[in-house]
Structure 1
Amino acid sequence: MSESITVRGFVASEVRRHDTHSGDELATFRMGSTERRFNRQQNTWEDGETNWYSVSCFRGLAKNVAVSLNKGEKVVVHGRLQIRPWTSSDGRAMTTVGIEALTVGHDLMWGISGYRRVTKDNPIPWIAVQTPDPESGTSDPWVDRETGEIQEGNEIAETEDAESGWEQGTNAVPGEDLPELSEETEDAVRAA
């Protein structure tokens, strides 16, 4: 089956990067999409059933997804629906529902996002493609993977490779200037 589908939901797993047998890049993640219903009797919103998808992204999309998405973020995925029956080790008939993504983006209904065009002249920032530290699983060994907090005694300014700590209003990507924001945008960011 190869039908087009667009799904709004959330990233339910960490994005994993792989290489295919032909050498192409592949990024995969699990995605959940939960229906929301309004209960008129209680005047509240309630969660309905959650549909689960295995999302696969190839080549350039795989690279961009791997550095852009994090577990828990709201996303919109458009691609080809793939329904695959299979048999479990105990002989039960199972079905996997997947999406071969053609495009992926943050769902701006729930937050804001920035865009940066990636080209040969303007590649993915070096900090985003660093090899993760095997012990912490992050590119930043001073970051606690569970909480995202900087570990005590390992502040950024104390690390050998950091030239200076991050200050509000500065860009994390060296050599790039931050765009000026309008008052309306700044108010929207403060309200979020």
Structure 2
Amino acid sequence: MNETMVCAVGNVATPPVYRDMASGPSARFRLAVTSRYWDREKNAWTDGHTNFFTVWANRRLAVNAAASLNVGDPVMVQGRLKVRSETRDGQQNWASADLDAVAIGHDLSRGTSAFRRSAQPEAAHASPQPEPNWDTPQDQSADPAGQQQPEPAAVT
């Protein structure tokens, strides 16, 4: 459908909260995204406005996010943007921006990270697929079955 996919780069602002729900694992944390710009008057980089997003992760992404993320970590989050607004107890309109995460990763432009593959369920190991043959055939005129293609007939 017409979903708004975004990529946000910022810092983890709150510890991930992990829940094991009936529909599967879920985790959420707040992401702080601060714009930076060059201030000509000060001749230096300056921090601009900070936006906060609630990032929601589900299933395996939730498990891995809860185990991997800490407050202050620089991360990149790709996901569907959901903006909600409502009125609370006669106050002004209240709005929140949530990211339903598809992918989360450490921002390697600001540090290093050590990747560890998580354990796969047993069902995933039941029938491994053979590795495809990616080699290019030596003879470019051979067909996929390896047989020589006939030369085109000369026109006289």
Aligned to 2:3: 2
| Aligned CA-pair RMSD | 1.7
Amino acid at match of 2:75: V
The CA deviation at 1:93 is 1.6
Task: Provide, for residues 52-81 of structure 1, a one-character-per-residue CA deviation record: whole Å limited to 9, x for no partner.
Answer: 100000000000000100001100000000
Distance 2:85 2:59 in 1: 26
Aligned to 1:58: 58
Are 1:28 and 2:28 an aligned pair?
yes
Higher helix share: 1
**Aligned counterparts, 1:59-74, within 5 A:** 59-74=59-74
Aligned to 1:173: none
Distance 1:24 1:92 in 2: 35
The CA deviation at 1:37 is 0.7
Distance 2:91 2:51 in 1: 24
Are 1:104 and 2:111 an aligned pair?
no
The CA deviation at 1:118 is 1.1
Give the length in aligned residue pairs.
Answer: 121
Amino acid at match of 1:82: K
Considering only CA atoms, is the larger Rg found in Structure 1 or Structure 2? 2
Distance 2:41 2:6 in 1: 33
Distance 1:23 1:79 in 2: 20
Q: Which runs of 5+ in 1 are unaligned?
A: 122-192
**Aligned counterparts, 1:90-101, within 5 A:** 90-101=90-101
The CA deviation at 1:88 is 1.2
Aligned to 2:144: none
Distance 2:119 2:23 in 1: 20
**Aligned counterparts, 1:74-89, within 5 A:** 74-89=74-89
Task: Provide, for residues 30-69 of structure 1, a one-character-per-residue CA deviation record: whole Å limited to 9, x for no partner.
Answer: 0010000111222211000011100000000000000100
Q: Post-superposition, which runs of at least 4 consecutive aligned residues in structure 1 deviate over 2 A?
A: 89-92
TM-score of the aligned structures, taking structure 1 as reference length: 0.59
Amino acid at match of 1:10: N
Percent of residue pairs identical: 35
Aligned to 2:16: 15
Higher strand share: 2
Distance 1:24 1:112 in 2: 30
Q: Which runs of 5+ in 2 are unaligned?
A: 122-156
